[in-house]
Structure 1
């Protein structure tokens, strides 16, 4: 399907946060981070805002022109984690996120640490941090349509892509787009399963064959 897409900027922050909040309210991982429904309703948007701010500042947010969907991307270089400064920054990030979003909730910090541990670091890649589709528009193919332009760029440039699928439905979508589970699933303590997924760039022969 054809979807008009533009790159979001700071003026779109409120829309992006609302999309993320609404799309992930019932997600298994969000339910694990915020197990109490009332607390999740009151606090979840703060976590989504923190994510949106990082990507608006350091990455790229692709936004459907009609405001129905968005995708958050970061370009991740090949990193050698042997540097002490980099390690300190990685260690501080989840703790800072918890302090800003929900200081009494250790799971806000834990989800950041666990996903960081499984994130590949040896090769440069495009990282799909999150993709959100308005609940009333889910099932229309918007997610795949929103991702295709970036994946096409990855194929042209020989760039891999990576994500963590947070539910079985999204995993199935990503598999159709060429992602495969890498390194095994991530089982959250007393919680749901996530699937780290990697996509090798497709060659011209693969695309035409």
Structure 2
């Protein structure tokens, strides 16, 4: 598939936030974090903006040249997420205060993801991938992910992600990811599927 991909910069921030907001509005995990549709429509973009800012500062965002899809990646060194419960907890509190101060689910999911993240091996972490609703199912997500996985294979780096739906796990399995054997279960909410990929 001939799709041009480039690295996003600060000038792409609003594009990336909009893509993620549109792509994840009806996602099971987003629906759990923001349980009312009206509240989600009004607030969800703030969480996507916080994620975008973190990755612009610390990682890499790839976007398709036509602006219809993006992928957020972090390079995680061995023991890179092992900041301890206090550090993860402080980050989760700051995220909740910045996004939706009265919504403890923002903090709870941030803590859960930080606590469950693998720390034994350096890896590339696919934090999120978003495709504009009118362009989903056309292979853009696969192309964006392969763009980084090809480098992972050359550099002998594993990759990691948390899938938020059974539909997305099937895509990731086709790309070589495997379920790590236990789901991350949100309290009274949907599961997430941690997935790991060894380099090929």
2:9 is aligned to 9
Q: TM-score, normalised by structure 2?
A: 0.97
Deviation of 1:88 (Å): 3.0
**Structure 1 unaligned residues grouped into runs of 5+:** 203-209
Cα deviation, 1:140-199, whole Å, max 9, x if unaligned, reads 011001111100000000000000000111111000000001141112111111000000
CA contact (8 A) 1:81 1:87 kept: no
* 1:125 is the counterpart of 2:123: yes
CA contact (8 A) 1:16 1:52 kept: yes
* 1:138 is the counterpart of 2:119: no
- Map 1:10-89 to 2 at 5 A: 10-79=10-79, 86-89=84-87
Deviation of 1:134 (Å): 0.2
| Aligned Cα root-mean-square deviation (Å) | 1.3
Deviation of 1:119 (Å): 0.7
- Map 1:146-165 to 2 at 5 A: 146-165=144-163
- Map 1:193-204 to 2 at 5 A: 193-202=191-200
**Structure 2 unaligned residues grouped into runs of 5+:** none
Larger Rg: 1
Q: 1:74 and 1:166, CA in 2 relative to 1: closer, same or farther beyond 3 A?
A: same
What's the secondary structure of 2:6's corresponding residue?
Answer: strand
1:206 is aligned to none
What's the secondary structure of 1:123's corresponding residue?
Answer: coil
What's the secondary structure of 2:43's corresponding residue?
Answer: helix
Runs (4+) of structure 1 exceeding 4 A deviation are none
Count how many residue pairs are aligned between Structure 1 and Structure 2.
200
Deviation of 1:3 (Å): 1.0
Q: Counterparts of 2:7 and 2:122 in 1: how far apart (Å)?
A: 22
- Map 1:108-123 to 2 at 5 A: 108-123=106-121
1:207 is aligned to none
